[in-house]
Structure 1
Amino acid sequence: MNAPSGHRKPAGLASVEHLYDFDDIIDTRSPAEFALDHVPGAINCPALDDAQRAEIGTLYKQVSPFVARRRGAALVAINIGRHLLERFQDKGPDWRPLIYCWRGGKRSGAFVTVFRQIGWDAHQLEGGYKAYRREALARLATLPARLDFRVLSGPTGSAKSRVLEALAASGEQVLDLEALAAHKGSVLGRQPGLEQPPQKLFESRLLHALERLDPQRPVYAEAESRRIGLITVPEPLIERLRAAACIRIDASPEARTEFLLRDYDYMTRDADGLIERLERLIELRGRETVGAWCALAREGRWPALVSALLAQHYDPLYRRSQNGNYQGHRDAPTVTADTLDDAGIARLAQRIAALERTT
Structure 2
Amino acid sequence: MKNLLVSLADLPAFEEIIDVRTPLEFADDHIPGAINAPVLSNEERVIVGTLYKQDPFAATKLGAGLVAKNIGAHLASTFKDKPQNWRPLIYCWRGGKRSGSMATWLNLIGWKAWQLEGGYKAYRGQVLQLLETLPAASRFIVLAGHTGCGKTRLLHALAQNGAQTLDLEGLARHRGSVLGSFPATSQPSQKSFDSQLTRQLARFDPARPVFVEAESKRVGQIQLPASLMLAIRAADCILVQARFEDRIRFLCDDYASLFDYPANFKTRLSRLVETHGKVVLAHWNGLIDEGKKAELFAELISKHYDPAYKRSSQSNYLRLSDARPLLIDPSGDLNACARQLIVDFAA
CA deviation profile, 1:152-203 (whole Å, cap 9, x unmatched):
1111112222322222222211111111111110100011111111212211
Q: Which residue of 2 aligns with 1:43?
A: 35
Q: Which residue of 2 aligns with 1:263?
A: 254
Q: 1: CA distance between counterparts of 2:42 and 2:196?
A: 24
Q: 1: CA distance between counterparts of 2:250 and 2:315?
A: 26
Q: 1: CA distance between counterparts of 2:216 and 2:263?
A: 27
Give the alignment of 1:139-154 within 5 angstroms. 139-154=130-145
Q: 2: CA distance between counterparts of 1:94 and 1:174?
A: 40
* 1:19 aligned onto 2:11: yes
SS of the counterpart of 2:38? coil
Q: In the alignment, residue 232 of structure 2 is paired with which amino acid?
A: L
Residues 150 and 328, structure 2, Cα contact 8 Å, conserved in 1: no
Equivalent residue in structure 2 for 1:28, among 2, 5, 20: 20
Structure 1 residue 344 displacement after superposition? 4.4
Q: Which residue of 2 aligns with 1:5?
A: none
* 1:354 aligned onto 2:346: no
Equivalent residue in structure 2 for 1:337, among 319, 324, 328: 328
Structure 1 residue 131 displacement after superposition? 1.1
Residues 148 and 247, structure 2, Cα contact 8 Å, conserved in 1: yes
Q: 2: CA distance between counterparts of 1:121 and 1:82?
A: 19
Given the two structures, how large is their TM-score scaled by the length of structure 1?
0.91
Residues 159 and 345, structure 1, Cα contact 8 Å, conserved in 2: no
- Which moved further from structure 2: 67-76 or 41-50? 67-76
Change (3 A) 1:294 1:336: same
Q: In the alignment, residue 179 of structure 1 is paired with which amino acid?
A: G
Residues 88 and 114, structure 2, Cα contact 8 Å, conserved in 1: yes
Residues 3 and 115, structure 2, Cα contact 8 Å, conserved in 1: no
CA deviation profile, 1:285-313 (whole Å, cap 9, x unmatched):
23333333222222211101111111111
Q: 2: CA distance between counterparts of 1:153 and 1:352?
A: 14
Given the two structures, how large is their TM-score scaled by the length of structure 2?
0.94
Q: Which residue of 2 aligns with 1:280?
A: 271
Give the alignment of 1:1-359 within 5 angstroms. 12-62=4-54, 64-339=55-330, 344-357=333-346
Change (3 A) 1:163 1:121: farther
Structure 1: state its 5+ residue gaps: 1-9
Q: CA RMSD in A?
A: 1.8
Residues 3 and 104, structure 2, Cα contact 8 Å, conserved in 1: no
Q: 2: CA distance between counterparts of 1:286 and 1:349?
A: 41
Q: 2: CA distance between counterparts of 1:104 and 1:169?
A: 41
- Which moved further from structure 2: 134-143 or 76-85? 76-85
Residues 161 and 335, structure 2, Cα contact 8 Å, conserved in 1: no
CA deviation profile, 1:179-238 (whole Å, cap 9, x unmatched):
111111010001111111121221111112211222222111110000111111011111
Change (3 A) 1:351 1:254: farther
Structure 1 residue 258 displacement after superposition? 0.9
Q: Which residue of 2 aligns with 1:6?
A: none
Structure 1 residue 11 displacement after superposition? 6.8
Q: 2: CA distance between counterparts of 1:209 and 1:121?
A: 32
Q: 1: CA distance between counterparts of 2:6 and 2:294?
A: 58
Q: 1: CA distance between counterparts of 2:165 and 2:86?
A: 34
Residues 335 and 352, structure 1, Cα contact 8 Å, conserved in 2: no
Residues 335 and 348, structure 1, Cα contact 8 Å, conserved in 2: no
Q: 1: CA distance between counterparts of 2:338 and 2:251?
A: 18
Q: In the alignment, residue 181 of structure 2 is paired with which amino acid?
A: R
The ranges of structure 1 where at least 4 consecutive aligned residues each deviate by more than 6 angstroms after the TM superposition are none
Structure 2: state its 5+ residue gaps: none
